[in-house]
Structure 1
């Protein structure tokens, strides 16, 4: 699951394209299937979104929650791919984007009535 935060006036107009860019990177780097998109957008009022100096109102936070297992190199590649694609396709400057990957053990994921360590029919690999 991916959660994206930003100031609503800047985030709302680009949500669909931003979702496409993120999912494209998830597919190309992690091998996620086309139908495995789980994105949540949290558009905030400017007064509810504090961010570091040197950023603009386009500042966007992307939190990627996933089952543990991806190699550090794979995670780095995902982050760098996101920075590159967000800049080239949405003109989001790397300084205005923060990306975090939060990993949880498969037994800490619950979906379709089972835990992630019980799933044996995933259409993608976790250990890449």
Structure 2
């Protein structure tokens, strides 16, 4: 997961945003507590050009294919609900989900479709 925003606005929110996004993934996808892979990209104003306000935040999720439309919509709704509790308006949060077949991933030295996950993707 990659979260991008203005440096001075995003940086103080990193712990709370990470918690909110991960809780949404646990709720919607049944993701285990230890499966938190977040990257935060705080950018200076001159490198983050957009027509929105100071709070504009982009959340990009990269995951294996297999989750249902219902689960993905539940995740999006949970992210909006949890980020609203942090004071972020829905207009300031943009979420994209990119799905890739497991065989197109390389993780811990093996293709993703050979990896023992310990959790389900088909939710």
SS in 1 for 2:99: strand
Shift of 1:72: 0.8
Q: RMSD in angstroms over aligned alpha carbons?
A: 0.8
- Specify the alignment match of 2:102 in structure 1: 106
Shift of 1:35: 0.7
- Specify the alignment match of 1:125 in structure 2: 120
Structure 1 moving runs of 4+ over 3 Å: none
For the pair 1:18 / 2:13, whether they are aligned, the reply is no
Please give the per-residue CA displacement for 1:35-84, whole angstroms capped at 9, x wherever unaligned: 11000000000111112x3x311100000000000011110110011011
- Specify the alignment match of 1:35 in structure 2: 34
- Specify the alignment match of 1:95 in structure 2: 91
The count of corresponding residues between Structure 1 and Structure 2 is: 123
d(CA) in 2 for partners of 1:25 and 1:124?
Answer: 16
Of the three residues 45, 51, 62, the one matched with 2:59 is 62
Q: TM-score, normalised by structure 2?
A: 0.97
- Specify the alignment match of 1:84 in structure 2: 81
SS in 2 for 1:38: coil
SS in 1 for 2:63: strand
